[in-house]
Copies of this chain bind each other. A is one copy, B any other.
Amino acid sequence: MPTHDLLITNAALLANPVDGRVQEAAYLAVLDGAIAGIGAMADLPGETRADRVIDAAGNLLMPGLINCHCHGAMTLFRGLADDLPLMTWLTEHIFPSEARLVDAEMVYWCSKLAAAEMILAGTTTVADAYFHEDAAARAFCEAGMRAVAAQGIIDFPAPGVPDPKKNIEQAAGFLSAWQGKNSLLTPALFCHSPYTCSADTLQRAKALAREAGSFFFIHLAETRGEVAQIREQHGCTPAGLLHTLGLLDEQTICVHSVWLEKADIELLRESGAKVVTCPESNMKLGSGIAPLAALLAAGVPVGLGTDGCASNNDLDLFQEMASCARLHKVAAHEPTRMPAAGVLGMATEGGAGVLGLGRQTGRLALGLRADCLILDRKQPHLTPFHNPETLVYAGRGSDVATVLIDGKVVMQDRRLLSFDLEETLDKVRRLAARVRARG
């Protein structure tokens, strides 16, 4: 038996949140970034050796969480201008700040802050989407996070893409630069929305994604206003437009998808397209409530995302899970909707499936990559701990003590190990002072 790189002992193992089963007194062994052993302490072979041992001391060991939609760099705009009408917020605050401040350096540092925030809250994989995504991809790689990084495409001058005519060309450059470069990073494309990208842009972007075997993300049917606009311009729903343009397939990930009609859900199901729901962002912006029960009943794969910090305003998937579980109950006046175990599954195995990473992450099993967290369940707000549903309704990101990504300990006892957090905080605070100095 080889010497393992790392051995976690005495854990309460929640190997797959979907089944909710907790095995007390378990171990997990890591070799070359993969799970090389997992099971009951009683079955741990006596000759097992490891370079490093972490005693979980009865705490919960579970898969890392998967954030299926984020604009990491927007940490800079966290709480910049809350509680305003949507268009005032966008046109008077977010867009001007983006135009003035978003460059590669900003995206790098602010994505690094996002990575720190997510790792500290137990998120091990993120699907990010922004401009200057090359800088974001560098930040996530240096943070040691697993990431699907999607370069933004929009038909307006955008940060790093002053000439929108070149948006597809630049996105192609991003894909080729990152394909096969880092095993933790999957490059992808992100068309902002059907109301900010022309049919031609959408089709060219999807053709490029198909050619590269990449995911195509798009904000879809986020607001009633968007649906009205698309109906006026194209005579169909946003999902109907994507269908007509031939953009829906298993590599298309529709974010938000709040205002879907029955026929839209059927189009998504037939095509194999996937959905990411961002309940806290949809709540805060007053956008609406996605038809999750209907999507899940139809068998559409659904992942959970935080969206960016300008509209959430944090990247804590524990709180996102709670909001998701609670929101759909109150919307339906039905306490059995979106049970906590299902939501926990959506934030782990479900999210991995949506991002095409189901054979790497999302649960803890032999041969998968070691993306996991150790959570301190001995705290007052988690006591008693009758079952894992408690994580959804009472857990917070700050309960996570230790995080492994791809077998590497990136956070231990709440200390970030993969990069210099203070340097990043300092850089972002300097940028934030420039945000406030506007006008």
Contacts and interface: CB of A to CB of B under 8 A. Distances in A.
A24 to B, nearest CB: 13
A83 B339 contact: yes
B386 A78 contact: yes
A379 B425 CA distance: 8
A397 B394 contact: no
A283 B329 contact: yes
Contact of A436 (B86, B285, B286, B386): B386
Contact of A384 (B283, B288, B429): B429
Contacts of A386: 78-80, 432, 435-436
B393 A316 contact: no
Nearest to A334: B286
Given A78-B386, A436-B386, A316 B283 contact: no
A336 interface: yes
A82 interface: yes
Interface in A298-342: 309, 312-316, 319, 322-323, 325-327, 329-330, 332-337, 339-340
Contacts of A65: none
Interface stretch (A115-123, A164-172, A187-195, A401-409): A115-123
A369 interface: no
A316 B85 contact: no
How many subunits of this chain does the assembly comprise? 2
Given A84-B335, A339-B82, A383-B429, A397 B396 contact: yes
A113 B329 CA distance: 28
A82 B394 CA distance: 12
A330 B329 contact: no
Interface residues of A, number: 73
A328 to B, nearest CB: 9
B380 A116 contact: yes
A277 interface: no
In this complex, which of A117, A378, A383 has the most chain B Cβ atoms within 10 angstroms of its Cβ? A383
Given A85-B335, A336-B85, A284 B384 contact: no
Nearest to A82: B389
A421 interface: yes
B326 A284 contact: yes
A385 B431 CA distance: 12
B340 A83 contact: yes
A75 B390 CA distance: 12
Contacts of A432: 383-384, 386
Given A78-B394, A82-B339, A383-B113, A327 B283 contact: yes
A329 B286 contact: yes
A6 interface: no
Given A78-B394, A224-B333, A381 B282 contact: no
A289 interface: yes
Contacts of A334: 286
A88 to B, nearest CB: 9
A13 interface: no
A375 interface: no
A137 interface: no
Contacts of A288: 330, 333
Contact of A330 (B89, B282, B339, B397): B282
Nearest to A422: B378
Interface string A71-103: 000011011101111100100000000000000
B380 A79 contact: no
A176 interface: no
17 contacts: A79-B386, A82-B340, A82-B393, A84-B336, A89-B335, A284-B329, A285-B329, A286-B334, A286-B335, A289-B330, A316-B394, A380-B425, A383-B425, A383-B432, A384-B428, A386-B435, A396-B397
Given A224-B333, A319-B322, A386-B432, 7 more contacts: A75-B384, A79-B386, A79-B389, A79-B390, A283-B327, A383-B425, A396-B398
Closest 5 pairs (CB-CB, A-B)? A384-B432, A283-B326, A79-B390, A314-B394, A313-B393
